[in-house]
């Protein structure tokens, strides 16, 4: 009997020790799991915050005309670098770039676009009189062709020697890719017009051709004649939502 009494407390003592160890292990696992969940939550918050900051930066770029111009410039430079690996491009000239969004419709108008796809890039070098269609997705040159400008139209005009030169910026305010570029090419035929640049407008819902007189009235006669030839409307203030222009005349090609 004494032996049995002696052994029983030992068994009870061992049992208590084992139970305490199990509880401690369970608590450790819970704490470890909570720590892991906390770290995951912190990482998720950091990722979301970084995404939020990046989105804010992108929105800021879209609302800043200077930033938008810088982004557009970098995109053009990247396109030129990619295309230079496929073909020799004109030097000392920055192309006008447009994105083709309705290749089928453009192909019906001009065979030059027959192999183009939506999303392809149209690069126009006005001084070199060359146009290129580049597919950035497949990294291939789709087509290359000349731009025809009537050289005789570039001869100095003797009928109106008093005519003043107009510095013009052209923008595409329509849903038709390349419309502004084509208008710029036509304007370059006039010896009294200097086309400073051709780009996309901030809005795409313009109707007809809009001419903005930024000369302060100094070129009213010339601008009036230009408006008559283009059947355009003339205003003296840049439309709301459109970025400012440093040219004397801003011409917007609408739908």
Say how far apart CA 209 and CA 234 lie, in whole Å.
Answer: 9
Q: What is the mean pLDDT of the chain?
A: 78
Structure tokens at 97: 């770039």
How far is residue 12's CA from residue 9's CA, in Å, rounded to a whole number?
A: 5
- Given a cut of 60, whether residue 62 has pLDDT beyond it is no
Domain range summary for the chain, segments of one domain joined by +? 24-63, 66-146, 151-253
- Residue 142 has what pLDDT? 93
DSSP annotation of 152: G
Position 140 scores a pLDDT of 94
| Dihedral sign from CA coordinates of 119, 125, 126, 128 | negative
Helix axes 65-84, 2-63, angle to 10 degrees: 90
Helix (H, G, I), strand (E, B) or coil at 132: strand
Position 154 scores a pLDDT of 42
Report the range of poorest mean pLDDT among 83-97, 123-137, 155-169. 155-169
pLDDT exceeds cutoff 60 at 8:
no
* C-alpha–C-alpha distance, residues 100 and 172, integer Å: 13
What pLDDT does 191 receive? Answer: 85
* CATH class name, domain 151-253: alpha beta
Asked whether the predicted pLDDT for residue 124 surpasses 70, the reply is: yes
Q: What is the pLDDT of residues 170-220, one digit of tens each?
A: 999 998 877 888 888 888 888 888 888 888 999 989 999 999 999 888 888
Q: Give the pLDDT of residue 44.
A: 64
pTM: 0.46
pLDDT digits (tens, 9 = 90+) for 209-252: 999 999 888 888 899 999 999 999 999 999 999 999 888 999 99
CA atoms within 13 A on the CB side of 19: 6
């Amino acid at each position: 009997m004494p032996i049995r009494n002696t052994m029983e407390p030992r068994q009870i003592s061992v049992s208590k020790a084992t139970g305490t160890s199990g509880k401690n292990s369970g608590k450790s696992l819970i704490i470890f799991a909570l720590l892991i969940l906390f770290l995951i939550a912190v990482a998720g918050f950091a990722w979301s915050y970084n995404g939020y900051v990046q989105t804010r930066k992108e929105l800021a770029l879209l609302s800043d005309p200077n930033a938008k111009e810088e982004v557009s410039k970098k995109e053009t430079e990247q396109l030129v670098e990619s295309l230079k690996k496929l073909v020799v491009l004109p030097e000392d000239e920055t192309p006008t770039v447009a994105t083709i969004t309705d290749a089928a419709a453009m192909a019906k108008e001009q065979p030059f676009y027959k192999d183009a796809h939506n999303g392809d890039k149209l690069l126009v070098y006005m001084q070199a009189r060359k146009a290129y269609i580049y597919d950035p997705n497949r990294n291939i040159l789709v087509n290359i062709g000349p731009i025809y400008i009537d050289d005789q139209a570039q001869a100095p005009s003797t009928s109106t020697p008093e005519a003043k030169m107009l510095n013009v910026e052209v923008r595409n305010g329509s849903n038709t890719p390349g419309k502004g570029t084509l208008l710029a090419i036509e304007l370059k035929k006039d010896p009294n017009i200097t086309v400073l640049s051709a780009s996309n407008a901030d809005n795409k819902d313009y109707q007809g051709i809009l001419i903005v007189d930024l000369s302060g009235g100094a070129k009213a006669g010339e601008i009036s004649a230009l408006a008559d030839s283009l059947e355009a409307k003339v205003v003296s203030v840049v439309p709301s939502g459109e970025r400012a222009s440093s040219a004397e005349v801003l011409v917007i090609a609408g739908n």
